[in-house]
Structure 1
Amino acid sequence: MTVLDQPVRTGAALSIRGLRRSFGSAVALDGLDLDVAPGELLALLGPSGCGKTTALRVLGGFEQPDEGHVLLDGEDIVPVAAERRDTAMVFQSYSLFPHLTAADNVAFGLRMRKVRTAERRARAAELLELVGLAGHGDRFPHQLSGGQQQRVALARALALRPRLLLLDEPLSALDARVRLTLREEIRRLQLELGITTVFVTHDQEEALSMADRVAVMNGGRLEQCASPTELYERPATDFVAEFIGTMNRIPGRADGDGTVDVLGVRLPVEGPAGSAGSGPVTALVRPEALEIEAADGGTGRIVATAFHGPTTRVRVALADGTDVKADVPTHAAAALTPGTTVTVRPRQRPVVLAAAGGVR
């Protein structure tokens, strides 16, 4: 019977209720509430100091909250010691034992649980094969690349068959190509095993490409938790709108009829602001939602361009002093050189309006 065939306790439901944690006068978690469905991969995303790592350490039992509860399949695990929680954490720094081989590192937790030698060796070999390291079991950490060491750390975590897998920025120390490969492998394994996973990262691309849902945090609070598509297209707050991807802030005028005039184009407004009154507003518009055309007497002038493969990002200074960024197909960008006078107009897409205190 292989690792994947054996009965495992995966797919646990996780509920976080009212978590608070302070370090002196610094508030790391300020009443965090979150639910993670069985088998879901949830990414905690936010700037440094937003509380995402503290939240993960509370889930793993490495930090005690000042207030709140962590329910795993309905059981509050806050009073439970870290080693008895049926959780496993993969750290950014690998944390492998340098004097143990890859196989022995994977089997270490099993040895602590007094699993028989033959069984733990067999499970370690199967898990190393599962993470693409078959034949590497006799190598020591210094004989492995960074990506291989992180695969060993992942296999070691999976060896204990945890109900909850915690990933603390496990890819940040790797180069870009290895990160891309390993994040695809982690997602494949997570789906294959059906294990509930909470993944901390500051990398938007990682979060949006890997997670079922992304929880955006700021100042110890949850700003929004939603699918990557919803976060990008329907941000709930100003912070999310400008933290996820790139967002232009363009002056416009609302007429109280559910539309707004932006650069001479009337656009529908998304969300409750559609029924807002008339007056000056700020429209939040993505770079790909702007069209640019070279034109004498246009509304702006190109300041700079940046090549991004299939698209080129064009920075334009508008006549009113507003700077905007637009993404255009690279094949159409040859004539859009710095100094060129252009007309900028938004595509016919719903927009979100910014207002004091957040997105309206």
Structure 2
Amino acid sequence: MTVTTTEKATAEKAASVEFRGLRRQFGTTTALDGLDLAVQPGEFLALLGPSGCGKTTALRMLAGFEHPDSGEVLVDGEDVTRVPAHRRDAGMVFQSYSLFPHLDAVGNVAFGLRMRGVRTTERRTRATELLELVGLADKGRRFPHQLSGGQQQRIALARALALRPRVLLLDEPLSALDAKVRLTLREEIRRLQQELGITTLFVTHDQEEALSLADRVAVMHAGRLEQCAAPAELYGRPATAFVAEFVGTMSRIPGRFTDGLVEVLGRRLPVDGPPPSAADVDVLVRPEAVGVRADAGSGARVAATAFLGAATRVTVRLADGTEVKADLPTHEAAALGAGTEVSVSLPDRPVLVADRGR
């Protein structure tokens, strides 16, 4: 695909973004509790977390739709905290599309340009250019009710890009779509972002979506930033127990911390990260790090298996009732049916721990 004038103009304007000490209270609810976060020009950053963690509030503050009780929002080093939304130079795509039903696709994409007084010929040219960019060059005369959900979302994306914003904001834009369309559009959004080089913030509660799309993922919880890192680091070296359990699957196995090591499943292993504050701890392990083998008389049994294709997830119930998940090659798991007595092992490497029950 050739790079259009719209793409060149957008890439040249990629901006840095910074949140400094953002705080926002809604009644007795704290939406943001001192958020500090910096986004580099051209970076794709995902804000990930459960409902109510503050990720959408942060995005709306960047767009200018919400204002903090304290703290600053900076774009390219300029404080825009009190700048009106229409002067923020940000394009936003909502979950609900928000297309105008009485306008066709070209009219919807060109709407913001018309409001800015761009000449008819120029705005139609730019709208047509953007429709081609999002793969809908042949749908320009269609109205929203004549388009699928995925196509409508592409129109909304093209409309957000039409004004050549310095920052693109995506607020759970895929959550209303079915799984197949969501996957396709996810790939399209990433392709477009890379081609345009536009600074993008993407809000989602879907960990797979965040890990597959973003250069970095900022995990939020209760209005605070838990960790911001590249997807591989976030998954492999979570900074907190919350991140470890929210991103991917994690099992908790009771252990005991003494003399700088944690005793778990009959082994003494070093701790990954700061030492715990108590002796009784939970050891957090990913299913791919757990080994399982048949072992009569061990006291642990296979509770369930789930076929995942090349791998099978085996859930083992230990003698104390703790359940541990292990992802094994399917051909190995075939011999471990429900009720099989097994032993569970961990690799000889540092493990993440958390205070018991926290």
Category of TM-score, reference length = shorter chain: over 0.9
Q: Label 1:37 to 1:299 Cα distance change in 2 as closer, same or farther (>3 A).
A: farther
Partner of 2:141: 138
* Per-residue deviation, 1:7: 6.4
* Per-residue deviation, 1:295: 2.0
The alignment's TM-score, normalised by the length of structure 2, stands at 0.95
Partner of 1:333: 333
Q: Label 1:34 to 1:60 Cα distance change in 2 as closer, same or farther (>3 A).
A: same
Partner of 2:324: 324
Partner of 1:253: 256
Question: What are the superposed Cα offsets for residues 290-333 of structure 1, whole Å, 9 maximum, x if unpaired?
Answer: 01112211241011111112211111110122111111112222
Question: What are the superposed Cα offsets for residues 192-249 of structure 1, whole Å, 9 maximum, x if unpaired?
Answer: 1111111100000001111111111111111111111121111111211111111111
1:16 aligns with 2:16: no
Partner of 2:132: 129
Aligned equivalents of 2:10, 2:149: Cα separation in 1: 31
Aligned equivalents of 2:208, 2:349: Cα separation in 1: 23
Q: Within 5 A, what are the aligned runs for 1:43-192?
A: 43-192=46-195
Aligned equivalents of 1:39, 1:262: Cα separation in 2: 44
Conserved? CA contact 2:277–2:355, under 8 Å: no
Partner of 1:268: 270
Q: Label 1:278 to 1:57 Cα distance change in 2 as closer, same or farther (>3 A).
A: closer
Question: What are the superposed Cα offsets for residues 57-89 of structure 1, whole Å, 9 maximum, x if unpaired?
Answer: 111111111111100011111111101110010
Partner of 1:348: 348
* Per-residue deviation, 1:119: 1.0
* Per-residue deviation, 1:253: 3.3
* Per-residue deviation, 1:36: 0.5
2:138 is paired with a residue of what secondary structure?
Answer: coil
Partner of 2:229: 226
Partner of 1:308: 308
Conserved? CA contact 2:315–2:326, under 8 Å: yes
Q: Percent identity?
A: 70
Write the letter of the residue equivalent to 1:345.
S
* Per-residue deviation, 1:3: 2.2
Aligned equivalents of 1:73, 1:279: Cα separation in 2: 47
The alignment's TM-score, normalised by the length of structure 1, stands at 0.94
Tell me which moved more, 259-268 or 326-335.
Answer: 259-268
Aligned equivalents of 1:130, 1:208: Cα separation in 2: 24
Aligned equivalents of 1:85, 1:160: Cα separation in 2: 11
The alignment of Structure 1 onto Structure 2 pairs a total of residues equal to 355
Aligned equivalents of 1:255, 1:7: Cα separation in 2: 56
* Per-residue deviation, 1:255: 4.2
